[in-house]
Structure 1
Amino acid sequence: MGKDNHMQITTDFFGPVQVDESEIITFASEVPGFPEARRFILLPFGEGVPFWSFQSIDQPECAFVVTNPFWIDPDYVFELPESAKEQLGIQETAQVAVYTTVTLREPFQESTTNLRAPFVMETKRRQAKQIILDETYANRRMIGSLTEVGGR
């Protein structure tokens, strides 16, 4: 057997979890408000649930609930700044994953996502950064309709 590439981390939502080191995402630039948090892992909230915890390995209290913004707004599109493409080593769109932070509210339908400040990840080298877009997108977009997937 090869060497074990698993490590145990402390998480905000799930307590201690084992993670595969190959799944670690490294931030190419500082996450605003969390200068120590450079390495993150995406932890799913459950099968069929469109949310993940974007958990810092370096700072356990730094965890964002994130979602796939294209599920909320299929027309969501933005131009990646050249500097970001260079920093992350992005050559083509197929190498890009995008996540937006979620603010959970009660009732759930009133939860919002921040389409103005997406996390952009290059999927091969797993480098990421937060991009701040112009005013085109809201920083509090309601996500209520997500709960009606399937159903009616």
Structure 2
Amino acid sequence: MKINTTRLGEVEVDDGKIISFPRGIIGFKKLTRFCLLPYKDPIQWLQSVDDPDVAFIVSDPFSLFNNYGFKVEDFVEEYLECKRIEDMAVFVILVVENNQLFANLKSPILINSANMRAAHLFIADDSISMKALVERPPTETKTCGCGCSH
């Protein structure tokens, strides 16, 4: 499938790599189809398939923060139809402000790489930061079934 993007022009994406967000992404509920496009490993673009202007910079939070973690409720795993934890990929949205890189750790994106179904969560834990400074460069990445690095 060919998709148009504002940042990368027209790109070819395998239909099996289209990520479905049945409930959309927070703030973008009507956009439900996305794909991951490479940028600078382990950073990627989460690009809307339907709106070339909508893309998020994302990364695996575990490669950026050694102590990051949160509890995934059973209903989330059921919603994503996740049978194996190994199929779950986690990403956080990154933003650049004043030449510094920040991660929103409070709203991770979970993708079931077995069926490409995803959810954008909000973690109701005050100890988790919505704007965590990325202080060190990523050190290790792995590739999962959805074609992302984490």
Sort the TM-score into its range (normalised by shorter chain): 0.7 to 0.9
The match for 1:121 is: 111
RMSD in angstroms over aligned alpha carbons?
A: 1.7
Residue 72 of structure 1 aligns with which residue? Answer: 64
TM-score (norm 1): 0.84
Residue number among 99, 105, 108 corresponding to 2:97 in the alignment: 105
| Runs (5+) with no aligned partner, structure 1 | 1-6
1:106, distance to aligned residue in structure 2 (A): 4.0
CA distance in 1, matches of 2:50, 2:97: 27
- Does residue 51 (structure 1) correspond to residue 50 (structure 2)? The answer is no
- Once residues 15 and 127 of structure 2 are traced to their aligned partners in structure 1, the CA distance between those partners, rounded to angstroms, is 36
Structure of higher CA gyration radius: 1
Q: Count residues with an aligned counterpart.
A: 139
Runs of 4+ in structure 1 over 2 Å off: none
Shift of 1:75: 2.1
Task: Kindly indicate whether structure 1 or structure 2 has the higher relative contact order, using CA contacts under 8 Å at least 6 residues apart.
Answer: 2
Structure 1: how far apart are the matches of 2:76 and 2:52? 26
Separation (CA, whole Å) in 2 of partners of 1:12 and 1:101 = 18
Q: What is the TM-score normalised by the length of structure 2?
A: 0.85
Identify unmatched segments of 5+ residues in structure 2. Answer: 141-150
Query: Secondary structure of the equivalent of 1:86?
Result: helix
Identity of aligned residues (%): 27
**Match status 1:87 vs 2:79:** yes
1:8 to 2, 5, 8: 2
